[in-house]
Structures are given as C-alpha cells and as structure tokens.
C-alpha cells in the first residue's frame, strides 16, 4: 500500500510539472504538447484502430523473431556449453559480436532480403540471439550437476535427458537471459521499424514526426514503454520469481 | 571409556561376541548359493590432480554383495565411498577394474540399480507423483496405467499418498527423503544404492526412516548398499559392515553384524558393535584429519 502511495505521488507530481510547463507556453504546443493533447492522440489512435493494428504487426514480428532467436540460441548455447572447441572459438566470437548494435545489421539485411518482413526479422533475431545464446550457455553451466546425474540414474538418456531434465533444470538460470533477450529484441524491432517504415509501432513514431504531430510521437513512445514494461516487468519477472522459488534457487540468489 | 562400556554390557548379560571379526571375505550364513548380485573386481580410481603423480582415490577394492543383503560401507570422508556407489550405478567408470551385476558388466546406468544421492536430486519442476513416475516413464517406458498404479503403491509405502500433487519445495526434509526412496523403489530395482541419505536429518526423523527402510527392505527383498560415515547407523541397518581406509580407499576390514532385527540405534549391542568398528575406523579418521589440517 505504502509503495502504491509513493508511486501515485511520484507520477502525479510528474504529470503536474508537465501540465504546468505546458500551460506556461514556454515552447509552442507542436514542440511541447500538453498531456491532454497526448491523451487525445492515444484515444484517437485506439478508436480508429491504427494503434491496435500497429501493435498487432509489431507483436507478430516480435513473437516470430524472438521465437526464432530462442530456438536458435538454445542450440547454439548448448553447442558452446558442451563442446570445448566451440567454447573456445564460437564463444569468443559471440561475446565480441555482442558489442555490435543490432541496427548495424540492417544495411546487410536490406541487401540480402530486400525491403521485406524477412529483413526486419533478421534484425530482431540478430539483436536477441546473442544474449539468448550466452544465457543458455551460462545456464547450462550454473545448473547443479545433480539433476543430470539423477536423470541418468533413473534411466533417461539422450534427447529425453535433455528435454525432461537438463532443459527444465536450467530454466531458472536461463530465464534471466530470456528476459534480456526480449528487451534486446524489442529495441531492435522498434529501431528497425523506424528506419524501415512498413507498419508497426516504429513506423507510427516516424509518421508522427513527418506530420509534425508531437502528441502522436509522445503517445507512441508511451505505448512502447508500456508494452515493454508489461512484458518485461510483469510477465518475465513474475515467471522468474516463481521459477526461482519453486526450484529453490531463491536463497542462493539472495 | 570403551572398555567400561563393554564391561558393563557383559555385566548385564549381553553376548560378548556380538561381532565376528573376520579377514577379507566372509561367507554369510543366509546368503543363497550361486553368483553374487553385485561384484566389485579390482576397482581402482585415479585422478589427474594437476600435479605430476595422479592421486589414487580408490585402490583395488574387491567386494561381493549377495542378493537380499544389506551392506553398509563406512569410512572417513575422502575414502571414495560415494565414488564407489556412482560406479555401481554406472554414472562413472573406474580407472581400473570392473563392476558386475548378475554376471553382467556395468557399462551404463540402468533401472536395475538406483542410487539415492546424498543431495537427493529430486526434480523441483515436477510434483511428488511425477518425480516417482520419472524412472518408469523415461527409463523403463512403462505404460500410463502401470505407472499410475505403481506411483500410488510406492507413495503409500512411504506414507506420502496425500502429497502426490505437492511440489518438492513444499515438503520437509524427511518427506523429501521419502520421496527419493519412493522414486528409487518405483522402478523396482534389484539393487538400491544409498549415499548417506539420512545425514542431514534430525535424530527423530532419521530413526523413523531407519525403521521404514528396514521394513521396506524386509518386505521387498532388495539388495541394499548403504554408504554412511556414521558407524552406529551402519550397525543399526547392515547385515555386514565394510570399513574403508583413507586415501587411497581400500577395504580395511569387514564385520558381520549378527544382531537380531528390528534393531534400534539405542540398543546396547548396537553401541557395542559400533565401538568395535569405530576403533578400526578411528585410525583412518585420524589420518584424514591430519591431511585436512595440513592443508
């Protein structure tokens, strides 16, 4: 309750400052819109469904791209974690590649795939694949060895051992990386859409700029923050916490 | 101290020769004729410990365990007793020597012998029932009906029927222990390997589980190899107690425990026998402490 009170006070004050600044008219409204204009923009966007369509398009790309990078990252991560040769070679390459901002892949993607969905997907995958791979690898290492031994002891081998023991056992260690991967994918997607301009939230943002509609720009920014927060802060953190409690790694993490 | 205890025991009319001290291999009266259930043949384990000369953890261990026997292995920490169990389970191969089960050489893990780990290794993402089901499902490939029947049967055996749908983190230490026991028994292994399973439990829970284990052993006729550092526990449970030496682990001595069952940790005969074995073990413990403190 106390925490909620603090939040209300903080965001209330923030809103108040915004209103006051806008009312003072230091800057013209097309540079610094007031909250009312932004909320009208939000309302209009949702009522004529443009925002909904944009969210739908962006989310579809996210799910596809992120899903792909999770699947690929799992395989790559396992390869690196279970093979000394790949650990020393591929492992190093992955870490160094992580310093490359994902948007740098866009020119390459456009040349390879043209102005298609595939190019955007490629950017999203490249943005999150590395962090998923690295977290998969460290997850496999951090996982207590006892689970693998217990699984083998009970007769599970090969793929069964992997899917029914090793994978679930390393889940609480991987989920942090999956969360990070999601955040990277989300950023890559939005920046990709901004340059690429073909539906989606990123394009809506650029459209706001082209129309000089600052209210819409801020409205879309709020949307992007909200979606990021809901997925990252609510979905992933809840899953993470529940996993850690159930797996009994909570005490170790604290 | 030991002398006094023994004297008082004799005074009270307990048999003086509760323990038969014997050299290497002992023929056991109740043991059935024929080949042993488990045979360890010249087991040696070396580790390349960074230094030039490899560390010999286990050296030339030869043991025969008969079907239905309850064998306890005691030794100071670092004598390789856990390693020995891992080898019988097929989780690791000895540097030299072979493990035989029923005249078949152990090459891999198998549901005919199940190890209960010291840290249990229960799967936290599965319910109690799913944990018990695991070996039957992924190791043996039994059908659903049979699995379900056996889960119910073995949960009942360890008095956990009501907790079938609980998760591991919701259970107490003693209950987890019993889940591990049920999970191991459910594959109906011929050989049950137990690695200090009760070390982390409080005295009451441990007593209770000793009784249950003894009952289950009598009911199911399994062969049990039980590793512990607690000599009294070994005497309480075992038909035979094997003492291992400290690094390299070798068989120092074997004791037959001919005390009537059911036994209790508090039985004076158990205490007396344990004293005798402890005398032998003390030397090894001292050696292990020397090494420990020299570090």
Is A49 at the interface with chain B, CB within 8 A?
no
Which residue in the set A146, A164, A247 is minimally distant from B121, CB to CB? A146
- Please name the residues in contact with A193: beta carbons below 8 A apart, sequence gap of 6 or more: A58, A61, A120, A199, A200, A201, A202, A203, A205
Distance CA A235, CA A232 (A): 6
Nearest Cα of chain B lies from the Cα of A18 at a distance, in angstroms, of: 48
Count of Cβ atoms closer than 10 Å to residue B77 Cβ: 14
Distance CA B286, CA B278 (A): 12
> What is the per-residue pLDDT for A10?
93
Is A246 at the interface with chain B, CB within 8 A?
yes
> Phi and psi (nearest 5°) for A166?
-65, -45
Q: Which two tokens stand for residue B291?
A: 């090494």
Domains of chain A: total: 2
Let me know how many helices (H) and strands (E) chain A has, helices first. Answer: 13, 0
Residue B109 · residue A231 · CB < 8 Å: no
Q: Which single residue is written with the structure tokens 């992933």? A: A236
> What is the per-residue pLDDT for B225?
94
Which residue in the set A153, A165, A171 is minimally distant from B89, CB to CB? A153
Do β-strands B70-74 and B223-228 pair in parallel, antiparallel, or remain unpaired?
parallel
> What is the per-residue pLDDT for A250?
53
Is residue A104 located within the same domain as residue A20?
no
Distance CA A33, CA A25 (A): 9
> Phi and psi (nearest 5°) for B140?
-110, -25
3-state SS of A196-249? HCCCHHHHHHHHHHHCCCHHHHHHHHHHHHHHHHHHHHHHHHHHHHHHHHHHCC
Q: Which residues of B touch A160 (CB under 8 A)?
A: 138
> Phi and psi (nearest 5°) for B41?
-125, 105
Is A248 at the interface with chain B, CB within 8 A?
yes
Is residue A180 located within the same domain as residue A248?
yes
Q: What is the location of CATH 3.40.50.300 in chain B?
A: 2-24+36-112+190-294
Mean of the per-residue pLDDT values of chain A:
85
Is B89 at the interface with chain A, CB within 8 A?
yes
Distance CA A170, CA B169 (A): 17
Is residue A161 located within the same domain as residue A226?
yes
If phi > 0 it is left, if psi is from -120 to 50 it is alpha, else beta; for residue B148 that is: alpha
Architecture of domain B2-24+36-112+190-294 in CATH?
3-Layer(aba) Sandwich (3.40)
Distance CA B101, CA B109 (A): 12
Is residue A8 located within the same domain as residue A119?
no
Distance CA A202, CA A191 (A): 7
Q: Which two tokens stand for residue B224?
A: 């049990």
Nearest Cα of chain A lies from the Cα of B187 at a distance, in angstroms, of: 8
Is residue A106 located within the same domain as residue A52?
yes
Encode pLDDT of B126-175 as tens digits: 999 999 999 888 888 888 898 999 999 989 888 888 998 999 988 988 89
Is residue A109 located within the same domain as residue A162?
yes
Which residue in the set B86, B120, B138 is minimally distant from A155, CB to CB? B138
Is residue A167 located within the same domain as residue A233?
yes
DSSP per position, A68-130: HHHHHHHHHHHHHHH-HHHHHHHHHHHHHHTTS-GGGGHHHHHHHH-SSHHHHHHHHHHHHHH
Which runs of consecutive H residues, i.e. helices, occur in chain B?
2-11, 81-89, 128-134, 144-157, 173-186, 203-220, 231-237, 268-294
Encode pLDDT of A23-68 as tens digits: 888 888 788 888 888 888 889 888 888 888 889 999 999 999 999 9
CATH code, domain with A97: 1.10.3720.10
DSSP per position, B219-266: HH--EEEEEES-HHHHHHH-SEEEEEPSSSB-EEEEEEE---SS--TT
Is residue A194 located within the same domain as residue A134?
yes
> What is the per-residue pLDDT for B51?
66
Q: Which two tokens stand for residue A85?
A: 């040769």
In the predicted structure, residue B250 carries a pLDDT above the cut 70: yes
- Which of B90, B113, B125, B126 is most worth mutating to test chain A (most A CB atoms within 10 A of its CB)? B125
Count of Cβ atoms closer than 10 Å to residue B80 Cβ: 27
Encode pLDDT of B20-63 as tens digits: 444 444 444 554 445 788 888 888 888 877 667 778 888 888 89
Nearest Cα of chain A lies from the Cα of B161 at a distance, in angstroms, of: 21
Which residue in the set B119, B135, B169 is minimally distant from A154, CB to CB? B135
Encode pLDDT of A155-185 as tens digits: 888 888 888 998 888 888 888 888 888 988 9
Distance CA A253, CA A244 (A): 9
Is residue A44 located within the same domain as residue A23?
no
C-alpha atoms less than 13 angstroms from C-alpha of B201 in its C-beta half-sphere? 23
Do β-strands B70-74 and B240-244 pair in parallel, antiparallel, or remain unpaired?
parallel
Burial of A12 (0-12, 13-18, 19+ CB in 10 A): exposed
Is B138 at the interface with chain A, CB within 8 A?
yes
User: What is the extent of the structural domain holding A10?
Assistant: 1-27
Cα dihedral value B122, B127, B130, B134, nearest 10: -20
B191-195, strands of its sheet edge to edge: B19-22, B251-257, B240-244, B70-74, B223-228, B191-195, B113-116
Count of Cβ atoms closer than 10 Å to residue B105 Cβ: 10
- Which of B106, B124, B147, B179 is most worth mutating to test chain A (most A CB atoms within 10 A of its CB)? B124
Distance CA A93, CA A75 (A): 16
Is residue A58 located within the same domain as residue A85?
yes
Q: Which residues of A touch B169 (CB under 8 A)?
A: 245-248
In the predicted structure, residue B3 carries a pLDDT above the cut 90: no
Q: Which residues of A touch B86 (CB under 8 A)?
A: 149
Contact B91 A153 (CB under 8 A): yes
Question: Which of the two residues, A203 and B12, has the higher pLDDT score?
Answer: A203
Encode pLDDT of A66-120 as tens digits: 999 999 988 888 788 877 888 888 888 888 888 888 888 888 888 998 888 888 8
Distance CA A86, CA A83 (A): 5
Specify the DSSP element, H or E, that contains B30.
none
Which chain A residue has its CA at the smallest distance from B192's CA?
A153
Nearest Cα of chain B lies from the Cα of A68 at a distance, in angstroms, of: 25
């Amino acid at each position: 309750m106390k925490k909620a009170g603090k939040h209300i006070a903080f965001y209330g004050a923030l809103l108040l400052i915004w209103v006051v600044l806008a009312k003072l008219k230091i800057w013209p409204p097309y540079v610094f819109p007031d909250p009312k204009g932004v909320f009208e923009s939000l309302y209009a966007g949702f009522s004529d469904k443009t925002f909904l369509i944009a969210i739908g398009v962006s989310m579809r790309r996210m799910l596809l791209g992120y899903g792909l990078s999770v699947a690929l990252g799992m395989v790559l991560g396992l390869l690196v974690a279970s093979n000394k040769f790949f650990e020393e070679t591929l492992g190093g390459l992955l870490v160094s590649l992580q310093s490359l901002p994902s948007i740098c892949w866009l020119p390459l993607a456009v040349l390879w795939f043209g102005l298609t969905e595939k190019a955007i997907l490629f950017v999203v995958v490249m943005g999150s694949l590395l962090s998923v791979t690295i977290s998969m690898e460290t997850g496999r290492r951090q996982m207590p060895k006892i689970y693998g031994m217990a699984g083998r002891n009970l007769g599970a081998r090969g793929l069964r051992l992997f899917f029914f023991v090793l994978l679930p056992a390393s889940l609480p260690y991987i989920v942090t990386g999956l969360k990070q991967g999601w955040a990277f994918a989300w950023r890559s997607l939005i920046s990709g859409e901004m340059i690429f301009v073909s539906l989606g939230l990123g394009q809506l943002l650029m459209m706001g700029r082209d129309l000089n509609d600052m209210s819409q720009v801020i409205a879309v920014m709020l949307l992007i923050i909200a979606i990021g927060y809901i997925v990252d802060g609510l979905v992933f953190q809840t899953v993470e916490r529940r996993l850690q409690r159930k797996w009994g790694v909570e005490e170790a993490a604290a | 101290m030991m002398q006094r205890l023994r004297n008082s025991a004799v005074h009270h009319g307990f048999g003086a020769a509760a323990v038969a001290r014997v050299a290497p291999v002992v023929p056991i009266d109740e043991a059935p004729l024929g080949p042993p259930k488990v045979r360890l043949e010249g087991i040696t384990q070396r580790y390349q410990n960074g230094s030039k000369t490899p560390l010999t953890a286990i050296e030339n261990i030869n043991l025969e365990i008969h079907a239905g026997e309850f064998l306890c292995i005691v030794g100071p920490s670092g004598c390789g007793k856990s390693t020995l169990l891992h080898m019988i389970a097929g989780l690791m191969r000895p540097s030299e020597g072979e493990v035989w089960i029923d005249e078949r050489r152990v090459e891999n893990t198998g549901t005919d012998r199940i190890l209960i780990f010291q840290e249990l290794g229960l799967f936290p993402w599965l319910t109690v029932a799913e944990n018990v089901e695991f070996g039957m499902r992924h190791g043996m490939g039994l059908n659903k009906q049979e699995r379900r029947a056996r889960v119910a049967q073995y949960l009942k055996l360890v008095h956990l029927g009501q907790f079938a749908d609980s998760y591991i983190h919701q259970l107490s230490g003693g209950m987890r222990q019993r889940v591990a026991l049920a999970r191991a028994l459910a594959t109906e292994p011929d050989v049950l390997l137990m690695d200090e399973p009760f070390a982390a439990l409080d005295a009451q829970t441990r007593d209770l589980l000793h009784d249950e284990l003894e009952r289950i052993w009598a009911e199911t006729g399994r062969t049990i190899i039980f590793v512990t550092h607690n000599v009294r526990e070994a005497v309480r449970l075992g038909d035979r107690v094997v003492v291992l030496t400290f690094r390299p682990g070798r068989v120092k001595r074997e004791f037959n425990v001919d005390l009537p069952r059911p036994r209790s940790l508090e039985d004076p005969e158990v205490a007396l026998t344990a004293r005798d074995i402890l005398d032998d073990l003390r030397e090894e413990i001292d050696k292990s402490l020397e090494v420990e403190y020299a570090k």
